[in-house]
Chains A and B, each alone.
Chain A
Amino acid sequence: MKSAVVVFPGSNRERDAVAALTAISGRAPELVWHRDTTLPKVDLIVIPGGFTYGDYLRTGAIAAHSPIMAEIKRAAASGVHVLGICNGFQILTEAGLLPGVLLRNAQLKFVCRDVGLKVETSNSPFTRAYNAGQILRVPVAHGDGNYFADGDTVKRLEDEDRIAFRYHAVNGEAPERVNPNGSLNAIAGVLDQSRRTLGLMPHPENAIEPLLGSTDGRGLFASLVQTLS
C-alpha cells in the first residue's frame, strides 16, 4: 500500500500518521505540501489532525480551498482512498467530500481523552479488520467535533450504512461522558457514498502502541493494508 500524508500550515499530527502508516503498512508514506499541485501515485491519501490556518473562519474552511485539494478531489473520484482524521475530517466536510459539518463541542470545552468507539460497520476498506459492534478505545483531542447534518442527510447515512463509528460507553463510564462533543446520534466517523473516503474525529493513529494505552487503532490501518496491498 502506497500512501501520502498531506501537510498544511498548522497540521500537527502528520508525524503520528506517518508513524502509524509506516508501522502497519511497512512502507513510509510520502509527505505532500498543501501548495503542491500534483499528488504522487498512491492508494491512500491521509489528511492529518491539527489546526490548519489557526481554525480561522471555521475549522478546515481555509485548508479546504488549498491548491492540493483540487487534486485530492480528482484522485478521490478516480478511486484513491482518502482518510481525514480530526481536522482532516473537518477539511473533508468543508471541501464537500463528506456530508455534514463539525460544530463547536456542545459543552464548549476542548476534549482530550480516550473515548469508547463502536465500529458500526465492517463493510468498508477502513473497518474490514474489525467486527461490527466491536468497541474500541481511542483518544480524541478537539474543540470542534460536534457532528451535525440535516435530517435527510443523517437518514441517508444511516440507511446506506455509512456511519463508520459512533461514540459508545467503555468500561461503564457515566452516560453524559460517552458522547464527548454532543455529536448528532453520537456520530464519530462517516463514509462517503463510494465508501472510499472516511472522516473521523478520534485519532486511531495514536492508538497503535501498547505503551500509550491502546492498540485498537491498528485495525483501521490493517484494514487499509488488506484492501490496498
Chain B
Amino acid sequence: MKARVHITLKTGVLDPQGKAIAHALGSLGFSGVEEVRQGKYIEIDLADTDQAAAKGRVEAMCQRLLANTIVEDYKVELVG
C-alpha cells in the first residue's frame, strides 16, 4: 500500500516562503489570494498489508524524522 504524508507548518508559525509565493501570485495578476502556506508532500510505498499497523508505523516515521513537530503538523493517508 501507499502512504501519502502531508506536512504543513503549524498555525502561527511564520511562513516567509508562503508569503513570497502569495506576493508573486499577486504580481502575476491573480487577485483574491488571501494567504499561501507552503508544505511538503511525501509518498511512501509500503510492504504492509495491515492498514492499522501501517498507519502506526508511518505516524512513527513522521514523529521521528519526516516532520519537526515543534513547528510542523502532519497528516497520513493510506491508499491501495
Q: Which of A58, A65, A107, A148 is within 8 Å of B13, CB to CB?
A: A148
A111 at the interface (CB under 8 A from B): no
A120 to chain B, nearest CB (A): 22
Verify B16–A148 contact, CB threshold 8 A: no
Knowing A105-B16, A106-B16, A148-B13, the reply to whether A57 touches B66 (Cβ < 8 A) is yes
Residues from 55 to 72 in A contacting B, C-beta threshold 8 Å:
57-58, 61, 65
Contacts of A58 in B (CB 8 A): 68
Q: For the complex, what is the distance from the CA of A106 to the CA of B17, rounded to whole Å?
A: 9
- In the complex, besides A104-B17, A107-B16, 5 extra interface pairs with C-beta distance below 8 angstroms are A65-B64, A103-B14, A104-B16, A106-B16, A108-B16
- In chain B, positions 8-60 with a C-beta closer than 8 Å to chain A are 13-14, 16-17, 20
Closest to B64 in A: A65
Identify whether the interface residues of A are mostly helix, strand, loop, or mixed. loop
Query: Can you list 15 A-B pairs with a CB-CB distance of less than 8 A?
Result: A61-B65, A61-B68, A65-B64, A65-B65, A94-B68, A100-B70, A101-B68, A101-B71, A107-B16, A108-B17, A108-B20, A148-B13, A148-B71, A182-B14, A182-B16
- B68–A106 CB distance below 8 A: no
Query: In the assembled complex, which residues on chain B have CB atoms less than 8 Å from the CB atom of A107?
Result: 16
For residues 95 through 120 of chain A, which have their beta carbon under 8 Å from a beta carbon of chain B?
100-101, 103-108
- Give the docked Cα–Cα distance between A57 and B62 (Å): 12
Q: Is A149 an interface residue (CB 8 A)?
A: yes
Residues of A within 8 A of B17 (CB): 104, 108
Looking at the assembled complex, report how far the CB atom of A93 sits from the nearest CB atom of chain B, in whole angstroms. Answer: 8
Residues of A within 8 A of B66 (CB): 57
Instruction: For the complex, give the distance between the alpha carbons of A103 and B19 in Å.
Output: 14
B66 to chain A, nearest CB (A): 7
Q: How far is the CB of B74 from the nearest CB of chain A, in Å? A: 13
* Shortest distance between the CB of A185 and any CB in chain B (Å): 14
CA distance A106 to B20 in the complex (A): 10
Q: Is A150 an interface residue (CB 8 A)?
A: yes
**Cβ of A103: which chain B residues have Cβ within 8 Å of it?**
13-14, 71
Nearest Cβ distance between residue B36 and chain A, in whole angstroms? 13
**Residue numbers in A under 8 Å from B64 (CB-CB):** 65
Contact B65 A148 (CB under 8 A): no
Contacts of A108 in B (CB 8 A): 16-17, 20
Complex Cα gap A108–B23 (Å): 13
Residues of chain A in range 143-183 having any CB-CB distance to chain B below 8 Å: 146, 148-150, 182
A100 and B66 CA atoms in complex are apart in Å by 16
